Amino acid sequence: MQRLTSTLLAILLTTSALLCAPLATAQQTTQPWPTRGWPVSSPEEQGMSSERLARLVDFGALNDMDSVLVTRHGRIVLEAAYAPFRAGLRHHIYSATKSVTSTLIGMALGDGLLDSTDRKAVDFFADQTIANLDDAKKAITVQHLLDMTSGLAWQEGLTDAYESVMDMVRMPDWRQFVLDRPMAAPPGTRFYYNSGNSHLLSAILSKVTGRSANDYAREKLFGPLGIDDVLWQADPQGISIGGWGLHLQPRDMAKIGYLWLRGGQWEGRQVLSAAWIEGVRKADVDMRESWSRDLRYGRQFWVMPPRDTFMAVGRNRQLIVVMPKLDIVAVMTGSQRFIGSSNKVSTPRYGFGTLVGYLAAAVTSDSAIAANPAATAELAERAKAAAVEQSAPVIAGAGGMPAMAKTVSGKRWRFPSSDTLRLKSYVLELDDPQPSYEYELDGGPPGAPVGRFGGPIGFDGRYAVGGRTPNGVSAARATWSTDGTSLILEAQTPGNDDVTRVTHVFGDKTIELTIERASGFTTKVQGRAED
C-alpha cells in the first residue's frame, strides 16, 4: 500500500514557496481552530527541525506505532501512518478514554450539573444496595475516583494482570460490581490504577446529565470540536465505558489535546474550565513507579511536572501528549504484533521520557526558521515509506499455492455452537485472483455482532486490506506450511489492536482452527465440511 499523507504532500508542494518567502513568526495573529480541518505547515515554519522529526518517524517504526502526528502552534507539522493502519481510520485509544471521561466531569461541573468533586461517590447510587458499605467506602469522593486513590480492592494496576477488569466485564451490571468491592485502603492514602474508578465516573456522569457520557460528549465536546467519527462502547446498562472503549481518528485525538493545550478554549469560547486543566498540570499524586519516578497522576491524566507535560495514556501507547511551554500537541497510536513465525509478541513499550525528548529536541525556535527543503523532502519520504508495508518473513512457510489450496477452496465448514467464538461457518476462496476468507457469527448477547465478515488475503508477505470485520476494515495475510498441508492466516482490524493468528489444519472433511491472539487468548475449534 503506497500512500503519501496529505500533510506531507502539502509540505512538499510548499517547499519552493518557503524558499522565497520572508520568515514570519510561527504564532500567527489569528489563532487557528481546527474545527473543520487542521491547517498544515512545514516544521521549519513553526520553529521545528524536519531532520529531527524524521528521527521520530524512524523511532515509531521501531516501536510498533500505528501512527504519529505532531502539531505546533495549532498546525500539523508531521503526520505518518504505519501500514496496514492508514489515515482516515479510527483507533481504539484504550485508557486514554479516561482523560476524556475526566474532561466531561469538568464540563459537568461547568454546567452546574455536578456541584463539587468533593461529593461522596456512593451518594449518587442511593437507590442501589451496596455490599461492604463501611465508613471508608462512604468517604470515597469523586476526586478520589479521578485521582485513582479510592482505596477499592482491585487487581489491575500498571503492571498487574487485568483480573478485576475481566471479572467486571463478565458481570451483567459493571457499576454494581465496582460499587460492591471491599476496601483495600482508606480513600486518599495511596495511588492504585483501577479502571473501575473510571467506570464509576462515567456512571456518575449518566446520573447527573441524564444521558450517557457518549451522548453528553457529542453535544458538549465532540460537536464543538468538529469530531463526528466516534465509537464509544458501553456496558450492558448502556453506560459508556469510562476506562476504555473510545475509538477516534488520530486527528480528532489531536483536537481534544488542542482543547487541553488552549486551557479549555475553543473558537473563543470557554468549553472547559481553565482551572480544570491547570489542576491537571499541577497533579501531585505520586504514581510510585520505579521505572519513572517523576510521573504524577491527577484527574485521569499522567503528568511529568519537570517537563511541563501531561498525557492521556492508553494500553500499547495510545497517547495524546500536551506540552504547553513548547505549544505542542502530539498523538501516537500503536498495537501489538507477532514476531516472525513464533508466538512471541512485540508490544509498544518505549519510555515517555524518550518520546518527550524527541519532541523537545525537534524545537529550535518559538518562531519560523529558515526553510530546509532537503530535510523537508526527506521527512516526507520517511512518512511515505512508513505507509508501505515491507514484505517480511513474519509468518513461516513456503508461500505460493499448493495442491491443498484447490482442494479446500470454496468449501464451507460448519461449527458447533460456541458461546465464546459464536463461529457458525467459515469459507476460504483461494482459486480467485484475489484470495479471501469469510466467517459467519451467530448468537451471543444482545448487541453482539452477527453476520458474515472477512476480506482479501495477501500471500506476498503483506496485508491485503478490504472487506470488513465487526470492528472495521479487515487486513489479512497468509502463507502455507512448507509441506503445503496447513495454512497460517494473520488477520486484524487496523486501529483495533486485535491481530490474530489462525492455523488451519485440513482433514478429509474436517478443519481444525487454532486461534491465537496477540493479547494472549488461545483456543481451538473443529468444523466439518458441508455435504
Structural domain boundaries of the chain? 6-85+335-386, 92-312, 403-529
pLDDT: which is higher, 531 or 319: 319
What's the confidence (pLDDT) of residue 405?
Answer: 94
Residue 1 pLDDT level (bands cut at 50, 70, 90): very low
Task: Give me the residue label for grid cell 473543520.
Answer: 36
* DSSP string across 442-506: ---STT---EEEEEE-BSSSS-EEEEEETTEEEEEEEEE-TTSSEEEEEEE-TTS---EEEEEEE
* DSSP string across 378-426: HHHHHHHHHTS------S-S--S--HHHHHHTT-EEE----TTT-EEEE
What's the confidence (pLDDT) of residue 413?
Answer: 96
Residue 443 pLDDT level (bands cut at 50, 70, 90): confident
The Cα–Cα gap between 218 and 153 comes to 33
Residue 14 pLDDT level (bands cut at 50, 70, 90): very low
3-state DSSP assignment of residue 242: coil
* Dihedral sign computed on CA atoms, order 316, 343, 516, 429: positive
Residue 398 pLDDT level (bands cut at 50, 70, 90): very low
CATH number belonging to domain 92-312: 3.40.710.10
pLDDT: which is higher, 145 or 432: 145
Length of the chain: 531
Mean pLDDT of 401-425: 89
Closest Cα to residue 314, out of 256, 372, 379, 373?
256
| Grid cell locating 54 | 524524521
Number of H helices, E strands in the chain: 15, 25
What's the confidence (pLDDT) of residue 343?
Answer: 77
Q: Which residues pair with 454 in a beta bridge?
A: 438, 468
pLDDT at 444 over 70: yes
User: pTM for the complete prediction?
Assistant: 0.92
Q: Which residues pair with 345 in a beta bridge?
A: 338
CATH number belonging to domain 403-529: 2.40.128.20
